[in-house]
Amino acid sequence: MMTLKERLETRQAKVGVIGLGYVGLPLAVEFASAGFSVTGIDTDRRKIALLSEGKSYVQDVPDDDLRSVLAKGRFRATSDFDALTDLDSINICVPTPLSKTGDPDISHIHGAVQEIQSRLRPTKLVILDSTTYPGTTEEVILPMLSAGGLRVGRDFYLAFSPERVDPGNARYKTKNIPKVIGGVTPACTEHAMALYANAMDRLVPVSSTKVAEMVKLLENTFRSVNIGLVNEIALMSHTLGINVWEVIDAAATKPFGFMPFYPGPGLGGHCIPIDPFYLSWKARQYGFEARFIELAGQINRFMPFFVVSRIADVLNDAEKSLRGSRVLVLGLTYKADTDDLRESPALDVIGLLLRKGAIVEACDPHLPEREHASVGCPVRPFSIDLLRAADLVVVVTNHSDFDYGAVLKESREIVDTRNALKGFTSKKLHLL
């Protein structure tokens, strides 16, 4: 009889993925494309219905790729957790948001592990992909899975392997992003590597789950802190009458010792606005104050307020009040050329504008229609008439398919928070 490791190495293992969102669905399809039999599990029955019809709701998973693995019988989607019983390997890819008090919310991880634990039998591999604080795998998941008497590293295998998804990135996808892997024991790491070796181009084993958990938090804290720095430089440059975008472009010509980061209306997405606070929360438990992280967070959270202040100033100079003015928001998703609305600063900007009495409309060709109701204002198709009707247009997300020539020609006033109109010159164009 083949061992679990042999089944993983020969792709005869049955693989499961809990959570079929921006992380889980690409991972599940990648495993299936590599030749594994994959079962995807999600509590959202709408997702299950779409996937069963060969319709992907994740931008990085084309319908053709999904239909290919469905046709070959390598992938199925279900909301029934009893499917876990027959699986050899299970990846947990569930959301890990912050609570209303700013503390980590790992309730989705708890729920997934409870479903696994109730069906756990010997020779299963469990891998957590969801971003979380250092210690989660060993301090939370391991005790739950060991409660029935099974021993880690012998009866079952447990590892952490952080997701590093960059939605909309045409160059780096799930397959060719190096996969960091840390097991509770060396045997756990070996089994996780045996799984990923069949589907990923490069594996990066580390000494423990805590190291692997810290890797992901370092990556996104690095970005958060540097974005906070450049946002502060942008605020300072505005006060001094300096074009911060020109400063960054010139500084970026230095071939060493400098990496360009760019200011914007705030942070968005599933990682950078959240992950650093998992780290600072954990640090506080040990009496350590993560001052850089907290300060960067304060600056980044302030940026939507600054954007609305700039809008009010520009309207004031045009002898108009923000209250009653028509403001058109271009771009709603948190990142250019993606359909992801999570934590988008555009939602904060819109909320602040509405509270100050502005009449707000928005335009985003990438945002799925099912998301329109959550924006807080009408979402319209891009048009010349829409531009002409607005007292001010604010570019919040710099989608490449906006006609910026038309924006410049037809708009009365423009606040560009992304330098999307770089190269254009006009008295009605105002940068962040």
C-alpha gyration radius of the chain: 24
Number of H helices, E strands in the chain: 15, 13
pLDDT of 323 strictly over 80: yes
Torsion from C-alpha of 324, 328, 332, 334, nearest 10 degrees: -90
In CATH terms, 264-431 corresponds, of 3.40.50.300, 3.40.50.620, 3.40.50.720, 2.40.30.10, to 3.40.50.720
Q: Which of 18, 13, 14, 15 is nearest to 79 (CA)?
A: 18
pLDDT tens for residues 36-90?
Answer: 999 999 999 999 999 999 999 999 999 999 999 999 999 999 999 999 999 999 9
Q: Report the pLDDT averaged over residues 96-115.
A: 90
Strand partners, 41: 18, 78
CA-CA distance, 352 to 363, in Å (whole number)? Answer: 17
pLDDT of 221-264, one tens digit each? Answer: 999 999 999 999 999 999 999 999 999 999 999 999 999 999 99
**Which part of the chain has CATH 3.40.50.720?**
4-212, 264-431
SS3 381: coil
Specify the pLDDT at position 73. 97
DSSP string, 99-123: -TTS-B--HHHHHHHHHHHTT--SS
184 closest CA partner among 146, 239, 149, 220: 146
Residue 414 contacts residue 407 (beta carbons within 8 Å) = yes
Which residues are part of the catalytic machinery?
271
Given pLDDT bands bounded at 50, 70 and 90, which one contains residue 167? confident
State yes or no: pLDDT of 273 exceeds 90. Answer: no
How high is the pLDDT of residue 269? 84
Query: Over the range 97-133, which residues count as b (16 or more CB within 10 Å of their CB) and which as e?
Result: ebeeeeebbbebbeebbebbbebbeebbbbbbbbbbb
Question: What is the tens place of the pLDDT at every residue in 5-16?
Answer: 999 999 999 999
Confidence of residue 1 (pLDDT cuts 50, 70, 90): confident
Backbone angles phi and psi of 342, in degrees to 5 = -60, 125
391-432 pLDDT per residue, tens: 999 999 999 999 999 999 999 999 999 999 999 989 999 998
What is the structure's pLDDT at 169?
A: 86
Topology at the third CATH level for domain 4-212: Rossmann fold (3.40.50)
Angle separating helix axes 291-317 and 209-240, nearest 10 degrees? 30
